[in-house]
């Protein structure tokens, strides 16, 4: 009893010194382990439909792609803070949303052989030392005791940052940029690719192409958010 009161007292002081804020509107929030206030949570628009995506000549290599949210201003800022400021509480929030989505609506996908995150070019990963897709993937792997196949694939050449490219070059850019390390373990597998944003779908499609050319049977994609053409153009500039 005494210990409980001590912990509650400590948490009150901790919250006073380090007040929890909403990462979108920056207002204070009462729940310490939350990253959005109730108002901003309403700005997250569910987008649970299947997505299309193909390369510049119209080839699609994945089977079905899903996304949790519509890529709007709130989601974009949250993903940015998670990716570049490495605010892990945001990653935890999105990972939990993916887990909820898998539980509630995509339980068929839990029969996959394993998961793959979109790899970063190794020099880039060393520089930034943080792969946001890998962070979320690890949470999902842990939750469902699934296998992580991310080490079987790597990025073989650097691509220009997507934000700096025009829409057309974003479609063309990731060509032949992934390679597999151990094709034997990938044979006839069904895999789920995890990534943060599905914009043109070109990056995930390119990874899917490499995986399928190396024996993977079926590929699903799950991302935090996806945007339509209008939003892509708006944020590409």
CB of 44 to Zn ion, least distance (A): 11
Interface segment toward Zn ion; rule CB under 5 A; list 10-18, 32-40, 47-55, 125-133? 32-40
Plot region of 98 (φ>0 → left; ψ -120 to 50 → alpha; else → beta): alpha
In the complex, minimum distance from the CB of residue 43 to Zn ion, in angstroms, rounded to a whole number:
8
Q: How far is the CB of 175 from Zn ion (least distance, A)?
A: 40
- Count CB-CB contacts under 10 A for residue 153: 25
Choice between 37 and 90, CB closer to Zn ion: 37
CA dihedral 24, 120, 116, 169 (to 10 degrees): 80
Cβ-based neighbours of 100, under 8 Å, separated by 6 or more: none
**To the nearest whole angstrom, how small is the minimum distance from the Cβ of residue 24 to Zn ion?**
5
Of the listed pieces 18-26, 164-172, 187-195, 209-217, which binds Zn ion according to CB under 5 A?
18-26
Of 37, 33, 28, 27, nearest in space to 11 by CA: 33
Q: Is the dihedral of CA 123, 124, 125, 128 positive or negative?
A: positive
Residue 87 binding Zn ion, by CB under 5 A: no
Task: Count the Cβ atoms, other than its own, within 10 Å of residue 27.
Answer: 10
List, in sequence order, every residue forming a beta bridge with 194; answer none if it has no partner. Answer: 117, 222
**How far is the C-alpha of 129 from the C-alpha of 160, rounded, in Å?**
18
Query: Which DSSP category does 163 fall into?
Result: G
| SS3 label, residue 53 | coil
Binding flag, residue 24, Zn ion (CB under 5 A): yes
Which stretch in 25-33, 134-142, 173-181, 186-194 sits in contact with Zn ion by CB under 5 A?
Answer: 25-33
Least distance CB 21 / Zn ion (angstroms):
8
Is 20 a binder of Zn ion (CB under 5 A)? no
Using rule CB under 5 A, residue 22 touches Zn ion = yes
Binding mask 35-74 for Zn ion (x = CB under 5 A): --x--x----------------------------------
Least distance CB 29 / Zn ion (angstroms)? 7
Tokens describing residue 215: 């024996």
Closest CB to Zn ion among 75 and 211?
75
Helices (H), the chain: 2-17, 38-41, 73-84, 88-104, 122-128, 132-144, 167-172, 202-213, 229-236
Binding segment toward Zn ion, per CB under 5 A, in 9-17, 20-28, 149-157, 217-225? 20-28
25 lies in the binding site for Zn ion (CB under 5 A): yes
79 part of the interface to Zn ion, by CB under 5 A: no
Q: Closest separation between CB of residue 95 and Zn ion, Å?
A: 20
Query: Which residues make up the interface to Zn ion (CB under 5 A)?
Result: 22, 24-25, 37, 40
């Amino acid at each position: 009893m005494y210990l409980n009161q001590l912990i509650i007292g400590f948490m009150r002081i901790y919250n006073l010194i380090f007040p929890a804020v909403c990462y979108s509107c920056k207002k204070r929030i009462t729940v310490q382990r939350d990253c959005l206030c109730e108002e901003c949570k309403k700005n997250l628009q569910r987008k649970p439909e299947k997505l299309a995506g193909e390369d510049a000549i119209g080839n699609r290599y994945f089977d079905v792609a899903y996304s949790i949210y519509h890529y709007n201003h709130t989601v974009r800022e949250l993903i940015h803070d998670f990716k570049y400021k490495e605010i892990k509480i945001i990653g935890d929030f999105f990972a939990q949303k993916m887990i909820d989505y898998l539980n509630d609506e995509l339980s068929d996908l839990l029969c996959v052989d394993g998961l793959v995150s979109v790899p970063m070019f190794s020099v880039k990963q060393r520089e930034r030392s943080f792969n946001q897709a890998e962070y979320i993937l690890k949470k999902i792997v842990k939750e469902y005791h699934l296998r992580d196949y991310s080490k079987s694939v790597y990025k073989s050449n650097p691509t220009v940052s997507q934000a700096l490219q025009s829409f057309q070059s974003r479609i063309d850019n990731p060509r032949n940029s992934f390679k597999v390390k151990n094709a034997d373990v990938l044979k006839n597998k069904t895999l789920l690719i995890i990534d943060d944003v599905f914009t043109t779908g070109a990056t995930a499609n390119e990874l899917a192409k490499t995986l399928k050319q190396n024996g993977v049977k079926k590929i699903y994609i799950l991302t935090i958010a996806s945007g339509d053409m209008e939003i892509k153009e708006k944020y590409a500039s």
